[in-house]
Structure 1
């Protein structure tokens, strides 16, 4: 089952019993086949990709949790909250990771980022949180391209997530469609709209690190 860890502020533990307003979730359990090694440990400007994701979330969240697979868990430092998928849904993709984070950390909403967006900044995540409306899920799109894992999830989505996983429905976009997710224009979330493509770039190979 998902590790029953207390959520940690960036370097400080939060109470197990505390209900947080916003928890940050870094999804860092992908297989990274095209990248050639675990993307969480790719490096940009001297910092691991997962550290860049934590850096983008920590200033605007009450706690941050990293969801990874068992084989990588010991590579993360002890001062961070790191969990693996719930025992019933191990290795079932991003929805399992988000569900597992919700089980491990009590919060009203969850700001989710994949670990493979090393150009993301806390300014952008702050704007995303501010722009998120009353929908149970809010995610980003840039033109015709959707970024469902750059998203804000209400705790009300815990049960729909469980039902989707139990039903073998693992596609994030399918669940967002069912939840009538709100899609925000990513170009409005960055200080310079011309920089949006870079900020929201999913890095799948080292060649894509060129700014």
Structure 2
């Protein structure tokens, strides 16, 4: 089974005020920070950007465009598009608005995924889930995601109800919870 790194970069960024995946932070576009960490981790056989049709031309890497039936379905829609493109592979997903993620944390997620096949490995911090920094795998992933999207219950929490999920808690490691810092507003980085 291959590991595919997936940068989720298809949101509308309405709270941010402009397209945050393309926003420059420290001299690099936000998505580039995440792409680079996935690359540096050495875990991925391939890395792709999941995005929408409008943003696709702005990325310098291979893109997977949201499925036409599930456009604007949020991160679950992006995950579905990736699972459809790579149905037999493990998907290591990281949202573009978490530029402080580390290769060390991704290795912990990946190691847990390898040890727990057919299980989703989800980042947590105490009781707070960070599902857009996780590993999704399993032979039924595409069908299960399709069913969830058809129900229009688009939260990861709803999706996880009938799944095999293992939580990996950052507080039980030497990593700082800061690696999960999510940039939703410009005030989050200024």
After TM superposition, the score normalised by the length of structure 2 is 0.89
Segments of structure 1 that go 5 or more residues without pairing to the other structure are 1-19
Aligned mate of 1:140, from 117, 120, 123: 123
- Total equivalences in the alignment: 185
Aligned mate of 1:40, from 3, 10, 21: 21
The ranges of structure 1 where at least 4 consecutive aligned residues each deviate by more than 6 angstroms after the TM superposition are none
For 2:7 and 2:138, how far apart are their aligned partners in 1?
A: 16
Q: CA deviation at 1:106?
A: 4.6
Q: CA deviation at 1:103?
A: 1.4
Q: Deviations over 1:20-79 (max 9, x none)?
A: 5100111101111111111101222211111111112123210011111111111112xx
- Equivalent position of 2:154 in the other structure: 170
Contact 1:85 1:100 in 2 (8 A): yes
- Equivalent position of 2:73 in the other structure: 92
Segments of structure 2 that go 5 or more residues without pairing to the other structure are none
For 2:37 and 2:18, how far apart are their aligned partners in 1?
A: 22
Aligned mate of 1:158, from 133, 142, 156: 142
- Equivalent position of 1:207 in the other structure: 187
C-alpha RMSD of the superposition:
1.7
For 1:129 and 1:109, how far apart are their aligned partners in 2?
A: 9
Aligned mate of 1:75, from 58, 68, 71: 58
Q: CA deviation at 1:131?
A: 2.4
Aligned-partner SS, 2:161: helix
